A and B are shown apart, each in its own frame.
Chain A
Amino acid sequence: MSPQANHPLPAGFQLDEYCIEHQLSLGGFSIVYVATSAEGHRVAIKEYLPNTLALRREGQTAPQISEDHLSAFRYGMKCFFEEGRALAGLSHPNVVRVLNFFRANETVYMVMEYESGRTLQELIQKNRSGVTENFLRNVFTKMLNGLREVHSHRLLHLDIKPSNIYMRNSHIPVLIDFGAARQTLACDTPILKPMYTPGFASPEHYTQRDLLGPWSDIYSVGASMYACISGNTPQPANNRLEKDRMIPAMVRWEGQYSDQLLETIDWCLCLNHRYRPQSVFALQKALTEPVDPLPPPSPSPQQKDNWLGQVVGKFRKSRGL
């Protein structure tokens, strides 16, 4: 069956104790709605609805699932439960809260807290003048508090990227979308189709999934910081393994941000997982380290012509120290 767009539940639809307001996003695996609870609170509701396996036509409530797809549909539901389980046990201001989980319309729903704001992705795209050093350090240090909590529950997020970091209007970042999260020590790891986003996924995502660890999420954090500055998705790790065309942050933005921050980004983006910060704590320490204020921009013309020259200049500088 070719993927067909599923019709969302209509506005005003009464789903359990919630009233649907509008659709927030549509993925291949689920639809997210904004809804109002009986007490009048706004919530986000994620509906499990893989569009390759279940079809909901306009005007229908329950999706149609053919006999052949039922087993795969249920299997995917298991993954949806994994996400629910992962989030239910986490209570942290920088991790999205799950409020309820229920079954209806022959599928399952996860209710999460909703606050107005926008994803970091939208934010950086709106604000093309570039992000400041303080903004990066602040947002990522806070977001990492949430990631630390995730890791302390023996979970990995495995899909960190700017569009999965939600910025509340109060400027507090919240990690969302745990669809790829897995219990690292789950005894029956199902043979799952790996879920990841090229550009943000670590090399281990592609090659050796048994090497996935906190350092894999840390690669994605590095890629997210890189993307915040560049405004584009970084080169995917599998391509980097063949031919690394990613210009080190240190080279690309020298002078615009502190060396220490740029070094930290490059540190996270090491292809070898052992060379990256091994824990969120180590990375946070680097991000909160006091640094000397930026020297006044004085680009030396002979070094500015190409980035190789800049690297060489860099080495000279550090040798001179």
Chain B
Amino acid sequence: MKFTIYQESRTGMRANNEDRLAYCYSREALLMVVADGMGGHYYGEVAAQIAVQTLTDAFPREFKPRMRDPFMFLQKGMLNAHRAILDFAGQHRLLDSPRTTCVACVVQNSVAYWAHSGDSRLYLLRNGRVLAQTRDHSRVRLLVDQGVISEEQMPGHPDRNKIYGCLGGQQKPEIEYSRKATLETGDVLVLCTDGVWSVLPADILAVSLKTTDPADAVPVLLGQAEARGGPHADNLSMIAVRWGDTYGADSGSGSGNGSGRGLISTRTMPRDSVTKRIDEFGRQPGGKTDLTEEEIERAIEEIRSTIQKYSR
């Protein structure tokens, strides 16, 4: 496998970052995960972290070096994450269990398999066009499908934050699976949270990533998204990967478009090793964890409600 990959997450104008993202790869498979913890719920970031960690932790166990059924892997991983979030809520006696969206993609033998729950998206881009994308599990998406509102009305709609598929909720999560998509050289996969797609139309992503290296394009795109988000910019997270060799070809040409820098070739990796990239998310990059006003209120509220619950 050969590819160039880049991931970045920004807090936007929010108090803290509830997005989480990670990728990892073995000699023959690549996994990418993006999760967006639900802002309205307690501990959204914990839910997102659990989702990302559960999937990436399972990867080394299943991909040594390749996996028989990537869809099965995605299903198992996401359901396990769902249960882990519920367990967390139970242990900490949270009134409302935290939730997170999740989109995850496996590439193996130059075939991409993805699954998602909620409104974090995956785009498959080829030659500057969107070839495929996930369908949000959101109320506005349903309204568009039913023809009640138009695509353009989506971002401003009052129900735009209502999501019905997510990990950690009361119901079993709705998980939607893609078809198998065979990747060609130069194809780009983008996984991102709504902070990105709600302000950046897909064709801008497609054009920007057509020739530019992900490591150059992603920071620029996130900068644009942040600017468009203005004073209310949401958390923004994005992983982009450009595929470096076509199915079956292992001529080592690696040429592609401008993919010289940061090109990862897994050909020389030992069969049983896994490389993982999961960013640290401190409240402050400086190290010390800082409580926001909101978190103080939340902690006090939580303690008080526990006291109420246990006082006889």
Contact = CB atoms under 8 A, between A and B. Distances in A.
Interface of A: 71-72, 74-75, 77-78, 81, 84-85, 88-91, 98-103, 108, 154, 185, 187-188, 190
Contact of B310 (A74, A78, A89, A188): A89
Nearest to A84: B303
Contacts of A84: 299, 303
B91 interface: yes
Interface stretch (B18-26, B220-228, B242-250, B284-292): B284-292
6 contacts: A75-B289, A78-B289, A85-B302, A91-B312, A103-B297, A108-B300
A99 B311 CA distance: 8
Q: Closest 3 CB pairs between A and B?
A: A88-B306, A74-B291, A84-B303
A91 B310 contact: yes
Interface string B176-187: 000000000000
A295 B312 CA distance: 48
A187 B303 contact: no
Given A85-B303, A101-B304, A71 B296 contact: no
Given A84-B303, A100-B304, A77 B291 contact: yes
A316 B291 CA distance: 63
Interface residues of B, number: 24
Interface in B263-312: 284, 286, 288-291, 296-297, 299-300, 302-304, 306-307, 310-312
A84 to B, nearest CB: 4
Contact of A101 (B284, B290, B291, B307): B307
B71 interface: no
Given A81-B299, A100-B304, A75 B93 contact: no
Nearest to B88: A187
Nearest to A91: B310
A81 B286 CA distance: 22
A187 B284 contact: no
B48 to A, nearest CB: 12
A78 B304 contact: no
A90 B311 CA distance: 10
B288 A75 contact: yes
Contact of B306 (A71, A89, A190): A89
Contacts of B310: 88-91
B33 interface: no
B46 interface: yes
A321 B303 CA distance: 57
Contact of A81 (B46, B303, B312): B303
A75 B288 CA distance: 7
Contacts of A71: 284, 286, 288, 290
Given A74-B290, A75-B289, A101-B300, A89 B312 contact: no
B41 to A, nearest CB: 16
